[in-house]
Amino acid sequence: MKFPLVKAAAAFLACAAMSAGPVQAQQATLRLISAFPENGIYVQHLQAWVKKFNEEGKGVLQLNFLGGPKTMPPFEVGNAVKTGVVDIALNTGAFYTNVLPEADFLKLSDVPVAEQRKNGAFEAINKVWNEKGNMQYLARMVEHQPFHLYINKKIDKPDLTGMKIRITPVYREFFQALNANVITTPPGEVYTALERGVVDGYGWPIGGIFDLNWQEKTKFRVDPGFYDAEVSLIMNLPAYKKLTPPQLAYLNKQLLALEAQNGFWDRYAEEETARQAKAGIQTIKFDDATARRYRDMAYEVGWATAAKQSPEVAARFKSLLSRPAAGSRP
């Protein structure tokens, strides 16, 4: 008498498994990594988004955050995305120029990301990212974060003759044009380099120096800022193409929601500026004409460098990512 019940139960479980199969198959999990430390503001901002993404995407799409630089060295992340070792990465163009030299051009944009989505810039970016990097450029998570020159010797004009400045590829040519002796060191060594006088200063966005405790060894910040720290999500192209229409629609919805939060970075810049002043970092300001020349020079050098690396792409990007005239920049 028990056998029919057992058979019925078995049949029920089999049917349940079969009916559940297609539903479960519709959910995909993407591996996400960051080129930035987990205790920094970029990843903190990202993780809040990931939490919301996973809560609302159950049964459709999930993100598995693997970690930051402790999981993978920052300069290897770009290639990991290209080759499919990971699916998505939070990265900045300067960190994967070894894979895609054009990635560093995005720092030169002074057009808001919302406008880039309307004026053809995103399509132009993805044409290059697809063809040369095997990647899809998904979204720009950080904007309105200008770079600044931070120094320990006061200057009254934009001339760094005799000064040793720690650089990354982002502003190497610009600081060289200002006559600086440039030095490359990992971020983790900058504090000691400042402490020992190995470097007299460094370039960095308006935010983030407190994450590294550099404010303890920094005396001055030069205004105005220049360029715009570009921190974005990039995705392995084959993985992107494997997404089903519902998964792709959900991903795009959440990416737009992420970019819609970019007003946060304006407030963050204001807070960090005030925080630096409170920490004793003094502001060096040039007269209006000199300040304008200083900032315009940064863009002139940046676009000239881009043109040497990839003339056609640089020309196309400049037409889409730049304001009509340098004088119109705020």
Q: Which domains does the chain have, with CATH numbers?
A: 26-144+229-265 (3.40.190.170), 147-227+267-322 (3.40.190.170)
Which residues, 6 or more positions from 208, have their beta carbon under 8 angstroms from its beta carbon? 40, 41, 272
Confidence (pLDDT) at 199: 97
131-135, long-range: CB within 8 Å, 24+ apart, which pairs? 132/100, 132/102, 133/78, 133/81, 133/82, 133/96, 133/99, 133/100, 133/103, 133/234, 133/237, 134/82, 134/83, 134/236, 134/237, 134/238, 135/81, 135/82, 135/100, 135/234, 135/235, 135/236, 135/237
Confidence (pLDDT) at 223: 97
Confidence (pLDDT) at 66: 97
Confidence (pLDDT) at 53: 98
Which residues, 6 or more positions from 124, have their beta carbon under 8 angstroms from its beta carbon? 316, 317, 320
Listed as ranges, residues in the chain with pLDDT below 50 are 1-24, 326-330
Confidence (pLDDT) at 50: 98
Report how far residue 199's alpha carbon sits from residue 211's, in angstroms, rounded to the nearest whole number.
19
SS3 181: strand
Confidence (pLDDT) at 25: 53
Q: What's the predicted TM-score (pTM) here?
A: 0.87
Report how far residue 164's alpha carbon sits from residue 54's, in angstroms, rounded to the nearest whole number.
46
Confidence (pLDDT) at 324: 64
Strand order in the sheet with 28-34: 61-67, 28-34, 88-91, 231-236, 135-142
SS3 221: strand
* DSSP β-ladder status, 220-226 and 282-285: parallel
CA atoms within 13 A on the CB side of 289: 0
